[in-house]
Structure 1
């Protein structure tokens, strides 16, 4: 299966952590654990998404147009499986999509950054981002540094 860098995904209820890592890498990844299997397949097919699932039965009997049966257990191993199977290319930037709701982030205004960031975070260098979907605020702090280090170890050829 050869995919383009702009591949879009739909992760089933068992793959929430994988969905977050894909979003960190700027891959459009829908995740809603409340969606049942037939609806998952219909949504993936309608939106042209690759269905990511650990459910062999779903793949065999509901036959989504495009799917990856995730066989690995750890989220970063699952991420590597998706990258290898779909032949994904590294993104131009990390942390450009909301990890919670999947919406592309926008730069926060100065007022938003000043009022929404915790006090210590205001002193950190780097841009502040805001999710127009769920209104979360993101900035380059220790959490993102740890995630970058984790990705560097898991995908050294990418970062």
Structure 2
């Protein structure tokens, strides 16, 4: 499945943590918990997104064009369900999307870091990325290490090491 053919997702209000994990894996995943079920289905259909939900009623009565009904309440198990059901390929790299707003990240410029440097490793050579939409900074730190470790435990045969 080529990059242009990667599925895009819409997560319902109960799946915010799943949306973040999909974004870590660089899958375009919209999450707008304030939308009504009708608005959610309408937007997912209009944008050709697979609607991720645990709500059987939503799937049965609103009939989204593409939906995946998840069984688990555990975000990393939900992630396993999505990967299996959609036959998703492992991403070439992790942490390429803003975890808050889903926008692809760009390398931060020195002027973007002025006055707000992230805690860098001792060599000071860690790459820093910025969301061009919400301006949030991202860098490899203990939080990304813990997330990588959690993904490796949850997806040992799917996610390449490192």
TM-score normalised by structure 2 residue count? 0.91
Q: Deviations over 1:95-140 (max 9, x none)?
A: 000000000000000232353223x336443210000111100000
Partner of 2:135: 135
Partner of 2:72: 72
Q: Contact 2:49 / 2:66 at 8 angstroms: preserved in 1?
A: yes
Partner of 1:121: 120
Partner of 2:153: 153
Distance 1:142 1:116, change over 3 A: same
Uncovered stretches (5+) of structure 1, i.e. residues with no partner: none
Partner of 2:90: 90
The count of residues paired between Structure 1 and Structure 2 equals: 157
Uncovered stretches (5+) of structure 2, i.e. residues with no partner: none
C-alpha distance in 1, partners of 2:121/2:110? 11
